[in-house]
């Protein structure tokens, strides 16, 4: 079966070299040398001020809310992985949904204000499929209403906005390094903030509140990453350029072939993508189910990310229904994309989808593509059969 992704495994000999070093020191966890090295390298690679590694991305979210002392309610997106919502509920913070932008599929900053209640303290937004949120407008709304901003950056590793890491926006960004993610440590995650005092507090929260052998400062939990996981991360970080290049190549082929036949996610202007996913929106759920069945017949397993819309979850009711998110979640399918995806498999995916869409006689309305974005050039459309973004560095 060809799945929507395949966990990237770096060089095995290199990984075993790190394992040898772990056996030599006997240091398996609790802020070992490999975790320290990975933190330093990620800080430089991403270009962020503070990064604290955690043992998964869900706990990273929970600790982010704790570090900011959040209570009451938070405005969040209904179109994300369930952990964005469940982490809030788990921490006793009531999620209030605001709808998504129908083009970028991210939380619509214009929808936030109407949802703010007396006890609302924060905005929790996801850079969905690695598409940067409208961070500037969200920052304005947050400032006006004195709300904290937390970005669930689980899909956004390497993503840049105006040539800086998108993780530099908001009070805190969280990452997931789960095995299915673009960059991974088998299980793992991270918390990013440019506030040094907040970073120190986060480190305490991740380690039971233990300051020193004899001093415990407040409640904490265990969110530590282990050395074997860090070793995997160090190996994969070496290969990031190759991983991003291969994903971009696959994504641009999909874009070329499918862009005129299916709705694609509109990229946030001034941003760079990482192609952690390749989602398409079909005409409706009927076409989606038909295409999925046709692909499954050929041994290809696309995934319905994200379905259902999170405003329908039983444990967050009552909620005001969010129509854009509900409609989109019924028609989005993520196609296989990962380094090493065989070309013939991608061709099969494309052919199967085009065959189904061929009954559509009218081409879709002209799509608006971003003009020039940092480091990217949108080629002259007249010269192309389909729009395409090309890296110019």
Ligand X SMILES: *Cc1c(COP(=O)(O)O)cnc(C)c1O
Single residue of 57, 220, 233, 279 touching ligand X by CB under 6 A: 57
- Is position 84 an interface residue for ligand X (rule: CB under 6 A)? yes
Q: Does 176 bind ligand X (CB under 6 A)?
A: yes
Is 83 a residue that touches ligand X (CB under 6 A)?
Answer: yes
Q: Which of 154, 166, 198, 389 binds ligand X (CB under 6 A)?
A: 154
User: Which residue, 100 or 388, has its beta carbon nearer to ligand X?
Assistant: 100
As measured in angstroms, the least distance from the Cβ of 127 to ligand X is 8
Residue closer to ligand X, measured from CB, 129 or 262: 129
Contact status: 233 vs ligand X (CB under 6 A): no
Contact window for ligand X (CB under 6 A) among 77-85, 143-151, 290-298, 375-383? 77-85
CA distances from 87 to 24, 65, 81, 119, 124 (A): 38, 9, 11, 18, 11
Does 141 bind ligand X (CB under 6 A)? Our answer is: no
Q: How many binding residues for ligand X (CB under 6 A)? A: 14
- Closest approach, Cβ 176 to ligand X, in A, equals 3
- The 3-class secondary structure across the chain, one letter per residue, is CEECCCCCCCCHHHHHHHHHHHHHHCCCCCCCHHHHHHHHHHHHHHCCCEEEEECCHHHHHHHHHHHCCCCCEEEECCCCCHHHHHHHHHCCCEEEECCECCCCCCECHHHHHHHCCCCEEEEEEECHHHCCCCHHHHHHHHHHHCCEEEEECCCCCCCEECCEEHHHCCCEEEEECCCCCCCCCCCCEEEEECCHHHHHHHHHHHECCEEECCEECCCCCECCCCHHHHHHHHHHHCCHHHHHHHHHHHHHHHHHHHCCCCECCCCCCCEECCCCCEEEECCCHHHHHHHHHHHHHCCEECECCCCCCHHHCHHHCCCCCCHHHHHHHCCEEEECCCCCCCHHHHHHHHHHHHHHHCCCCCCCCCCCCCCCECCEEECCHHHCCCCCEEECC
Nearer to ligand X, 65 or 81 (CB): 81
Residue selected from 22, 42, 48, 58 as contacting ligand X according to rule CB under 6 A? 58
**76 lies in the site for ligand X, by CB under 6 A:** no
Strand pairing of 94-97 and 120-126?
A: unpaired
| Binding of residue 56 to ligand X (CB under 6 A) | yes
Q: Which stretch binds ligand X (CB under 6 A): 149-157, 158-166, 205-213, 333-341?
A: 149-157
Asked if 5 interacts with ligand X (CB under 6 A), we say no
Q: Please report whether residue 152 would count as binding ligand X according to CB under 6 A.
A: yes
Residues between 87 and 126 with contacts to ligand X, criterion CB under 6 A: 126
Region from 67-75, 152-160, 204-212, 229-237 binding ligand X, contact rule CB under 6 A = 152-160
Minimum CB–partner distance for residue 31 and ligand X (Å): 20
Q: How far is the CB of 191 from ligand X (least distance, A)?
A: 12
Q: Which of 32, 189, 233, 259 binds ligand X (CB under 6 A)?
A: 189
Site of interaction with ligand X (CB under 6 A): 56-58, 80-81, 83-84, 126, 152, 154-155, 176, 178, 189
């Amino acid at each position: 079966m060809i799945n929507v992704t395949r966990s990237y495994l770096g060089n095995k000999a290199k990984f075993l070299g790190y394992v040898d070093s772990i056996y030599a020191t006997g240091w398996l966890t609790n802020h070992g040398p490999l975790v320290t090295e990975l933190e330093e390298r990620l800080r430089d690679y991403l270009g962020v001020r503070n990064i604290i590694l955690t043992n998964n991305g869900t706990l990273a979210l929970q600790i982010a809310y704790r570090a900011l002392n959040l209570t009451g309610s938070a405005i969040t997106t209904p179109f994300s992985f369930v952990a964005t919502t469940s982490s809030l509920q788990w921490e006793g913070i009531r999620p209030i949904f605001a709808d998504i932008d129908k083009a970028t599929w991210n939380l619509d900053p214009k929808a936030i204000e109407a949802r703010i209640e007396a006890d609302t303290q924060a905005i929790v937004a996801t850079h969905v499929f690695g598409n940067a949120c409208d961070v500037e407008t969200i920052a304005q709304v947050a400032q006006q209403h004195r709300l904290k901003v937390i970005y669930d950056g689980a899909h956004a590793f390497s993503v840049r906005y105006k040539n800086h890491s998108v993780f530099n926006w908001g009070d805190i960004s969280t990452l997931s390094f789960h095995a299915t993610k673009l960059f991974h440590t088998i299980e793992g995650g991270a918390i990013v903030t440019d506030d040094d005092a907040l970073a120190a507090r986060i480190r305490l929260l991740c380690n039971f509140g233990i300051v020193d052998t004899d001093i415990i400062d407040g409640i904490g939990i265990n969110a530590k990453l282990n050395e074997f996981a860090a070793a995997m991360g160090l190996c994969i970080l070496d290969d990031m350029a190759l991983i991003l290049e291969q994903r971009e190549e696959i994504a641009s082929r999909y874009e070329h072939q499918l862009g005129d036949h299916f709705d694609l996610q509109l990229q946030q202007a001034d941003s760079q993508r990482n192609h952690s996913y390749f989602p398409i929106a079909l005409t409706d759920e009927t076409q989606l189910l038909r295409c999925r069945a046709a692909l499954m017949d050929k041994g290809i397993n696309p995934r319905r990310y994200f379905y259902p819309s999170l405003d329908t979850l039983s444990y967050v009711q009552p909620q005001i229904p969010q129509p854009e998110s509900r409609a989109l979640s019924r028609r989005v399918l993520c196609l296989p994309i990962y380094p090493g995806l065989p070309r013939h498999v991608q061709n099969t995916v494309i052919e199967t989808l085009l065959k189904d869409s061929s009954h559509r006689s009218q081409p879709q309305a002209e799509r608006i593509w971003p003009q020039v974005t940092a480091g990217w050039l949108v080629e002259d459309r007249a010269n192309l059969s389909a729009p395409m973004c090309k890296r110019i560095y």
